[in-house]
Amino acid sequence: MTKKKTILSGIQPSGKLHIGNYFGAMRQHIAMQEEGDSFYFLANYHSLTSLNDGQLLEEYTKDVVLDYLALGLDPNKCTFFAQSDVPQTTELAWILGCLTPVSLMEKGVAYKDKIANGLNPNIGLFTYPILQAADILIYHSDLVPVGEDQKQNIEIARDLAGKLNRAYDEELLKIPEEYIVKSVATVPGIDGRKMSKSYDNTINIFDEGKSLKKRVMSIETDSTALEEPKNPDSCNVFSLIKLFADENRQHEVAQKYRAGGYGYGHAKKELLGLIQDYFADARDRRKELENDMDYVHDVLREGGKKARERAEEVMEPIRSVTGLFRSFNYE
Ligand code: ADP
Ligand code: TRP
């Protein structure tokens, strides 16, 4: 029997998750959980690069765990854990950092984007890709399903694995294949820019009632009058409808746009109904889980233990070749 590939991906708990996160990342994670030996984690060390409020980080972490479980991540099929439960990750990140040229980080596109969007330019943010490389390499991951925006970080991880192996002349780390999920184009936010927590333009997965309605109704559209024909392909509302509706429904709505007499308000109501239906079961499951936090903690505890054991197997030989003194054993 061939060995199952190790699949790994993470998501930062730095805010409420939105439908861009769902279609761009989470849906693929959930779909792939049975395809290999899958590891999914909450990148909470990464969240510290932009969030320094302990209570808020705890709250977002809890939210993301509940979101994933409610949306169908099954801890019996994959290892689901918090990054902070695997301290070997930061240990490896330090060692990798000592082999990383500053010039490599200076080429980081995500860093420049984040600063341009007002994030505080701290060293954690600057060296974010090194920590991400450690996340990937510490489990000998084969595949890393992520969106197009993460491509550079995966290349950096491959590069750093090679640097460590060459520095100590041993195959200490496995070089992961690239794996970029291309199935979904960038999901637009209510203002037409990329939907992102940083732009306050999101529709959150578990928004409901009035607040969901308010978000959907405030999606920006052009000023074509109700009776005029409209182009669905240039409309944010239609881009979102396409994510939720089956092909027949998409076709019907597109025809209504083109025929005229169908306003953006109608389209928004259509979208609202679609979102409500799409996440209805997950919403119920999330409420049940919220009342069973012991179970949720058990999931993370078990996942953390499994992830730590795997990480330790990879870390121990690295400690040994680097010549770092140690007078105790882990676990
Ligand atoms: P945000 O921009 O809201 O801070 P993140 O950068 O934390 O989101 O992204 C988490 C994951 O969700 C990434 O894999 C990213 O590719 C995906 N993602 C985020 N926003 C979108 C979007 N608007 N469209 C598609 N995928 C997205
Ligand atoms: N940088 C990723 C994001 O913003 C999150 C992340 C952290 C990640 N470590 C990772 C993704 C390791 C894949 C593998 O979405």
Q: What is the pLDDT along the chain (331 residues), one digit of tens a residue?
A: 568 999 999 999 988 999 999 998 899 999 999 899 999 999 999 999 999 999 999 999 999 999 999 999 999 999 999 999 999 999 999 999 999 999 999 999 999 989 998 889 999 999 999 999 999 999 999 999 988 888 999 999 999 999 999 999 999 999 999 887 766 678 999 999 999 988 889 999 999 999 999 999 999 999 999 999 999 999 999 999 999 999 999 999 999 999 999 999 999 999 999 999 999 999 999 999 999 999 999 999 999 999 999 999 999 999 999 999 888 876 6
Q: What is the pLDDT of residue 220?
A: 96
Helix, strand, coil tally for the chain in percent (to 5) = 55, 5, 35
Q: What is the pLDDT of residue 2?
A: 67
Ligand 1 near 100 CB (within 6 A):
no
**Among 21, 111, 196, 239, which is best to mutate for testing ligand 1, by the most ligand atoms less than 8 A from CB?**
21
For the record, the structure tokens of 226 come out as 């109700």
Task: Tell me the domain boundaries of the chain.
Answer: 6-186+292-322, 207-278
Chain position carrying tokens 């509940």: 66
For the record, the structure tokens of 236 come out as 């944010």
CA distances from 232 to 10, 19, 226 (A): 34, 20, 14
For the record, the structure tokens of 210 come out as 């009035």
For the record, the structure tokens of 91 come out as 């240990």
Beta bridge partners of 180: 146
Is-same-fold flag (6-186+292-322; 207-278)? no
194 is catalytic: yes
- Contact of 299 with 40, CB cutoff 8 Å: no
Beta bridge partners of 41: 10, 81
Ligand 1 near 181 CB (within 6 A):
no
214 is catalytic: no
* Atom 22 (ligand 1) nearest CA: 20
Give the CATH class of 207-278: mainly alpha
* Ligand 2 center from residue 40 Cα (angstroms): 10
- Contact of 12 with 25, CB cutoff 8 Å: no
Q: Which of 146, 147, 27, 13 is nearest to 82 (CA)?
A: 13
Catalytic residue among 163, 197, 256, 268: 197
- For domain 6-186+292-322, the CATH superfamily is HUPs (3.40.50.620)
